[in-house]
Amino acid sequence: MRLVLKTSTSMLAIGAFALLGGCATIPAPLTGNDFSTATPQQVVATNADGQRVRWGGEIIRVDPHADRTCFEILSRELYADARPSRRDKSDGRFIACKQGFFDPEVYTRGRDVTVVGSVGGTERRKVGDYDYTFAKVDATEVYMWPKRAAYPPGYTDPFWGPCWGNPFWSGPYWGGCGGLGYGGYWGGPPVVIVRPNPPPKSGK
C-alpha cells in the first residue's frame, strides 16, 4: 500500500501571508518609537501628564469647537501597523483634540482612528448617568483608517483579522484566528491518498 501526500495549493500561501505579518507598514504620520506604553486607564489612575502616546480605537462622537475638534474614542489595542484591533477588550475611553475642523459626517461613529500626541490631563464627562474620567490627548495627528472590507459571513480577512502582526503563533497553523487554520480559509490540511499496491505479476 502506497501513501501519496497531496498538499493543497492554498496551504502554500500561508508562508506568503506569514511574511506579510512581519512586514506591517505604519503610515508615515503615525511613525515613531518614543511613545509611552501607558494605556488611557493607566494615565487616569496615575494622573500622568505630558507623555507622548500613540493610541487608537473606534470613534464614539466628534465635537467640533471654534478652533479645534475633539474626538471621544473607545480605546483598542493596536496591531503592528498601528491600526486598532476589533477585539472586545478595551483600555477605556479617551478624548483627543486637534486644531482645525473635522466634519462629523466624515469622521463618523464606529470608524477606526489612531492618534498621536501628548497627554494633557483628564476630563470628567457623563457616560449615560455615570461620571467618567477621560484621559485627554493634545493630538498632532488624527489618522482615520479606510473602512474595512465587507466579506461574506464566515470569511476572515487574512490582513486585518486577529492574526495580523502575529501570523505564526496566533493560529493559522493550529486552527485559531477566526478559522485561518485547518478546515478554514486556507482550504484544509494536506490530503493523504491511500492507493492499494498492484497485484503481483504472474510468473508466466
- What was the pLDDT predicted at 167? 47
With 0-12 / 13-18 / 19 or more C-beta atoms within 10 angstroms meaning exposed / middle / buried, residue 71 is: buried
Residue 176: predicted pLDDT: 46
pLDDT in the model for residue 153: 60
What count of Cα atoms within 13 Å lies in the side-chain half-sphere of residue 79? 26
> What is the per-residue pLDDT across 1-12, written as a single tens digit (0 to 9) for each?
555 444 444 444
In CATH, what number does 26-144 get? 2.40.50.140
pLDDT of 77 reads 95
Predicted pLDDT of residue 59: 98
For residue 133, the model assigns a pLDDT of 96
Write the DSSP string, 41-91: HHHHHHT--S-EEEEEEEEEEEEE-SSEEEEEEEEE-B-TTSPBP--S---
Q: Which residue intervals of the chain bear CATH 2.40.50.140?
A: 26-144
Q: Give me the residues of the chain with pLDDT under 70, please.
A: 1-23, 150-204
- What's the grid cell of residue 197? 499496491
pLDDT tens readout for residues 97-128? 999 999 999 999 999 999 999 999 999 999 99
